[in-house]
């Protein structure tokens, strides 16, 4: 084989070894919004926390483990999608809410990652509606690399007539650096 061919092959293999790797990881959680007291609804200005979204350590995340990647090796992390679904009762929609927001927090840093406004007018309808939130273009790598990271849900509206169980699904696109 000629030296030029060997050099081209070596450069090609070297570039392939330096390629970035991208994968999706998904975190899920559930919470229950309590029903209003008999006799009328009251203002809803706080959501119950989602316990599986508190104190997340991505070194324990199965998708990171499957990639052989530690959280400190992630070079970029962005929200790919965030959805909120009503699990029960199945005949309720999101019209009890005015708006909903999701924030990411690590230590004393916090940033809004997703939101949806005017839900009382534009809510997907039952049964078991799923709401796709608008996404902020926020770099989450510093949050993911922190000792722990939490995702917080906030919103405003009125307490529902019946208890409402919600599921949130956050899909993160993770890039790792040079291999």
Quick one: how far is CA 68 from the chain centroid?
22
* Predicted structure pTM score: 0.85
Residue 4, judged by CB atoms within 10 A of its CB (0-12, 13-18, 19+), counts as exposed
Residue 149 has a CB neighbour count (10 Å cut-off) of 24
Tens digit of pLDDT per residue, the chain (179 long)? 555 444 444 444 444 445 679 999 999 999 999 998 877 668 988 889 999 999 999 999 999 999 999 999 999 999 999 999 999 999 999 999 999 999 999 999 999 999 999 887 777 888 999 999 999 999 999 999 999 999 999 999 999 989 999 999 999 999 997 54
122 Cβ neighbours under 8 A, 6+ residues apart: none
Residue whose C-alpha is closest to residue 75's, from 178, 143, 142, 175: 175
């Amino acid at each position: 084989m000629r030296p030029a061919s060997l050099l081209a092959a070596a450069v090609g293999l070297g570039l392939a070894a330096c390629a970035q790797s991208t994968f999706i990881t998904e975190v899920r959680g559930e919470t229950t919004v309590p029903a209003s007291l008999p006799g009328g609804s009251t203002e809803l200005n706080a959501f119950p926390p989602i316990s599986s979204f508190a104190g997340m350590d991505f070194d324990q995340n199965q998708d990171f483990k499957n990639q052989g990647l530690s959280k400190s090796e992630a070079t970029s992390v962005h929200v790919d999608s965030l959805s909120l679904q009503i699990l029960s009762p199945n005949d309720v929609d999101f019209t009890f809410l005015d708006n909903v927001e999701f924030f990411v927090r690590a230590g004393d840093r916090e940033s809004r990652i997703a939101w949806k406004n005017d839900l009382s007018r534009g809510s997907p309808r039952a049964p078991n509606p799923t709401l796709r939130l608008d996404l902020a273009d926020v770099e989450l790598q510093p949050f993911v690399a922190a000792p722990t990271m939490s995702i917080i849900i906030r919103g405003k509206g009125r307490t529902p007539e019946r208890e409402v169980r919600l599921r949130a699904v956050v899909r993160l696109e993770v890039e790792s650096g040079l291999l």
